[in-house]
Chains A and B, each alone.
Chain A
Amino acid sequence: MSEKHIIEITHLDKYFGDFHVLKNINLSVAAGERIVICGPSGSGKSTLIRCINHLEQHDGGEIIVEGIPLNDSVKNIDFIRSEVGMVFQQFNLFPHMTVLENCILAPVWVKGVPRAEAEMLALQYLERVRIPDQADKYPGQLSGGQQQRVAIARSLCMQPRIMLFDEPTSALDPEMIKEVLEVMVDLAEQGMTMLCVTHEMGFARRVADRVIFMDEGEIIEENTPAAFFDNPQNDRTKLFLSQIIGD
């Protein structure tokens, strides 16, 4: 197991009741690597990244993040969660707090950052996601695209080393997808380790180091974007790509 791998997943198994969602998944992610995971719905791709910060508990195999094994230990889970940021499809901003309060909540209460410092940091990240002037608004007052960018800023405020994106643009109107993707591209260019579940193939081509295709709980194919899109090996991949592009 090499040291430069920031995430090591070996023989991962996960069940929902009798349903085998993830079957013997093996995946290593190097620091700074950008991975796009795609596949038909129900293929287990969301479950896979939700396992990485323990929103889902895996049933077999091992997940090691920055050398720390993800197991029942609360200490390990807390550590990994503070190192791993996550962006959800439905944004999941806290509706009763302003944008700024959303952003400083975790730094203040998890890391013990003084409030003034956390606010400065938050404003900095809000600027990076291009909405510095919305800090005192409530999530309900923002558009979907703005909300998702706040959600990204909120995660960045914890200064994570890894970011997980769970279909970040699927709940957005087309004209808002672009503004969120731009923020994600920025982030990628600054060297963040990223795992994105997304169907935005343009984004994958432009940013990803590797594209992973999953179906029925298994990794079917993984390759560089160029090879993946232009010369898919597996029949299921071909079918999926034709559907996506025909879409």
Chain B
Amino acid sequence: MNTVFSLWSSQKGRNLIVQLLMVAGFLGLVWWLVDNTVANLARQNVATGFGFLENNTGFDINQKLIAYDESSSYQRLLLVGLLNTAIVSVLGIFFATLIGFMVGLARLSDNWLVSKLAFLYVEIFRNLPLLIQILFWYVLLIEILPHPRNSFALGDMFFLNNRGLYLPWFTSLSGGNIVLWAIALFGVGWFFVSRQAQKRRELTGQKSSYTRHYFILGVIALAGYLSLWGVPFEPNLPALKGFNFRGGLSFTPEFVALLVALSLYTASFIAEIVRAGVLCVAKGQFEAAKALGLPTNVAMNKVIIPQAMRVIIPPLTSQYLNLTKNSSLAAAIAYPELVSVFAGTALNQTGQAVEIIFITMSIYLFLSLLTSFLMNIYNARVALVEK
């Protein structure tokens, strides 16, 4: 007892005691929760463990990027859900960035009307709960749009009805995939060539014609291939068969509603981030660039944007993360993403709440921690050097 008192009288000892008590309390709480859970599970006769991942799900879902049917396992289902989360998030991030940057820059426009409109956009979409926006677009799509028979059509190629959105697409014939890969490679090459051209421009002061030559070369190669071996693609147009459309690239109303809502909502936040980022670059910077005679595009590319981006990128990334997490709201309209299909349907079917919630949360947690880890690296790299 005496030793405890003497420990308590010193700062270090006191710190030690406080921390030990915290650890003890925490472990006690965990033990109590685990004990209760084990007892409850035993009483309810629920299976435990991750064995269920191998079992058949016994149900199908209406959007899958990889092969999946009733006889697939829960593991497969998890992957399908994850991919559906990924596709809506990636597309959402793309559109939200596009709209967000446009609106954010419009907010800074000299044009009074344009900047006020952008302001209105931000205030409307930012202050409406995302769930209401998702539900709103969803009912608009399924209640107001016509049946497939009376679809809105654009040139017999684009169709919009209450079953979804249909776009013209293509199917690859033999050799088609090789061409697609070649074009993708060409795109990657473009990145390097334009960087090389810029380096050369700095080195010699001469404008280089690298990119133009590269482009012409690409066009000639493509034209040569097509004229020798023909076009290895076939159009795949959506067409009404029976009660619904078949063929083409189709999106369910759930997907469209979720994508539209996520993009518009997140764009309103991105717009504010972009605006703040550009505004925080001091006015003097632009003046100094102008006074040196730099043309506007060079002033933007070399002076303003690099400084704005280091302010914009961290919050922008957290918006991307938010969008990904928010895609879980799809549970409300049954778009088959991770939460809706795994933490929803699979949980109801198996009853293994602990395992399923654990897996679901772990996935999001992993994504979040990874993102903030990468952001810390980025922040350390771009931090301005000061005394």
How far, in Å, is B308 (CB) from chain A's closest CB?
Answer: 10
Please choose the segment from B59-67, B106-114, B200-208, B247-255 that sits at the chain A interface, where 4 or more of its residues have CB less than 8 A away.
B200-208
Chain B residues whose CB sits within 8 angstroms of the CB of A116 once the complex forms? 203
Q: Are B287 and A78 in contact (CB under 8 A)?
A: no
Closest B residue by C-beta to A138: B385
A72-94: which have CB < 8 Å to B?
78, 81-82, 84-86, 88, 90, 92-94
A158 at the interface (CB under 8 A from B): yes
Q: Does B310 contact A (CB under 8 A)?
A: yes
Which residue on chain B has the smallest CB distance to residue A55?
Answer: B287
Chain B residues with CB under 8 A of A78: 293, 295
Among residues of B, the one whose C-beta sits closest to the C-beta of A140 is B386
Q: Enumerate chain B residues within 8 angstroms of A27, measured Cβ to Cβ.
A: none
Q: Which residues of A contact B282 (CB under 8 A)?
A: 90, 92
| B307 proximal to A (CB < 8 A) | yes
Chain A interface residue count, CB cutoff 8 Å, equals 37
Q: Would you call B291 an interface residue if the criterion is a C-beta within 8 Å of the partner chain's C-beta atoms?
A: yes
What's the minimum C-beta distance from A28 to chain B, rounded to whole angstroms?
A: 22
A165 to chain B, nearest CB (A): 12
Q: Say if the beta carbon of A210 comes within 8 Å of chain B.
A: no
0/1 string, A146-174, CB within 8 A of B gives 1: 00000100110010000000000000000
User: Is there an interface contact between B292 and A110, defined as CB atoms closer than 8 Å?
Assistant: yes
Q: Is A42 an interface residue (CB 8 A)?
A: no
CB of A206 within 8 A of chain B? no
Cα A78 to Cα B290 in complex, Å, equals 9
- Determine, out of B80-88, B169-177, B298-306, B364-372, the stretch whose residues face the partner at the interface: B298-306
> Chain B residues in contact with chain A, CB under 8 A?
201-207, 282, 284-285, 287-295, 298, 302-303, 306-307, 310, 382, 384-387
From B205, B287, B293, B385, give the contact of A158 (CB < 8 A). B293
Q: CA A226 – CA B359 in complex, angstroms?
A: 85
Q: Are B384 and A138 in contact (CB under 8 A)?
A: yes
Query: Are the CB atoms of A141 and B293 closer together than 8 Å?
Result: no
Q: Is A115 touching B385 in the complex (CB atoms < 8 A)?
A: no
Of the candidate stretches A14-22, A101-109, A234-242, the one touching chain B is A101-109
**CB within 8 A of B288: which of A92, A96, A141?**
A92
Q: How far is the CB of B387 from chain A (nearest CB, A)?
A: 5
Pick the contact of A114 from B203, B290, B302, B303 — CB < 8 Å?
B203
Chain A residues with CB under 8 A of B302: 105, 109
Taking CB atoms, residues of chain A closer than 8 Å to B298 are 109-110
Shortest beta-carbon distance, B303 to chain A, in Å? 5
Q: How far is the CB of A53 from chain B (nearest CB, A)?
A: 6
Residues A123-152 near B (CB distance < 8 A): 137-138, 140-141, 151
Q: Label chain B's interface by main secondary structure.
A: helix
Contact call B386/A110, Cβ cutoff below 8 A: no
Q: Is the CB of A95 within 8 A of B288?
A: no
- Closest Cβ of chain A to B236, distance in Å, is 47
Residue numbers in B under 8 Å from A108 (CB-CB):
201-202, 205
| Interfacial chain B residues near A110, Cβ < 8 Å | 292-295, 298
Q: A96-B306, A141-B387 are in contact. Are A82 and B205 (CB under 8 A)?
A: no
B385 neighbours in A (Cβ, 8 Å): 137-138, 140-141
Contact A55 B310 (CB under 8 A): no
The answer to whether A95 touches B307, judged by C-beta atoms less than 8 angstroms apart, is yes
**Chain A interface residues toward B at CB < 8 A:** 53-55, 78, 81-82, 84-86, 88, 90, 92-96, 105-106, 108-118, 137-138, 140-141, 151, 154-155, 158
Question: In the bound complex, do residue B290 and residue A92 qualify as a contact, i.e. CB atoms below 8 Å apart?
Answer: no
The answer for the CA separation of A86 and B202 in the assembled complex, in Å, is: 23
Given contacts A94-B285, A109-B302, contact A141 B206 (CB under 8 A): no
Query: Measured between alpha carbons, how far is A8 from B288 in the docked complex, in Å?
Result: 23
- B-chain residues with CB within 8 Å of residue A112 when the two chains form the complex: 205-207
- A81 contacts B292, C-beta separation under 8 Å: yes
Closest Cβ of chain A: how far from B56's Cβ, in Å?
A: 57
- B205 and A96 contacting across the interface, CB-CB below 8 Å: no
- B206: which A residues are within 8 A, CB to CB? 112, 114
A55 contacts B291, CB within 8 Å? yes
Separation of A109 and B293 alpha carbons in the complex (Å): 9
Apart from A140-B384, A151-B288, 8 more pairs, CB < 8 Å = A82-B293, A92-B287, A96-B384, A105-B292, A105-B302, A116-B203, A118-B205, A141-B386
Complex-state Cα separation, A155 to B205, whole angstroms: 18
A108 to B207, CA, bound (A): 11
Q: Are B292 and A155 in contact (CB under 8 A)?
A: yes
CA of A140 to CA of B294 in the docked complex: distance in angstroms?
A: 23
Q: How far is the CA of A55 from the CA of B292 in the complex (A)?
A: 11
Complex interface: chain A residues within 8 A of B294 (CB): 105-106, 109-110
Pairwise interchain contact A94-B307, C-beta atoms closer than 8 A: yes
Closest 7 CB pairs of A and B: A140-B386, A92-B288, A112-B205, A81-B293, A82-B293, A138-B385, A86-B291
Contacts of A96 in B (CB 8 A): 306-307, 310, 382, 384
A88–B293 touching, CB < 8 Å: no
User: How far apart sit A111 and B298, CA to CA, in the bound complex (Å)?
Assistant: 12
Chain A hits for B201, CB < 8 A? 108
> Cα distance A54–B307 when bound, in Å?
24
Chain A contacts of B386 at CB under 8 A?
138, 140-141
A213 to B303, CA, bound (A): 35
Q: Evaluate whether A154 and B205 lie within 8 angstroms (CB atoms) in the complex, with A92-B285, A140-B384 already known.
A: no
Q: What A residues does B205 contact at CB under 8 A?
A: 108, 111-115, 117-118
A244 to B153, CA, bound (A): 78
Q: Which of A108, A118, A141, A158 has the most CB of B within 10 A?
A: A108
**Contacts A94-B285, A95-B307, A115-B202 given; does A106 touch B384 at CB 8 Å:** no
| Closest Cβ–Cβ distance, residue A26 to chain B (whole Å) | 24
| A218 shortest CB reach to chain B, Å | 25
Can you pick out 29 interface pairs between chain A and chain B where the beta carbons lie within 8 Å of each other?
Answer: A54-B290, A55-B290, A78-B295, A81-B291, A85-B292, A88-B284, A90-B282, A93-B288, A94-B303, A95-B384, A105-B294, A105-B302, A106-B294, A108-B205, A109-B298, A110-B292, A110-B298, A112-B206, A114-B204, A115-B204, A117-B205, A118-B205, A140-B384, A140-B385, A140-B386, A141-B385, A141-B387, A151-B288, A154-B292
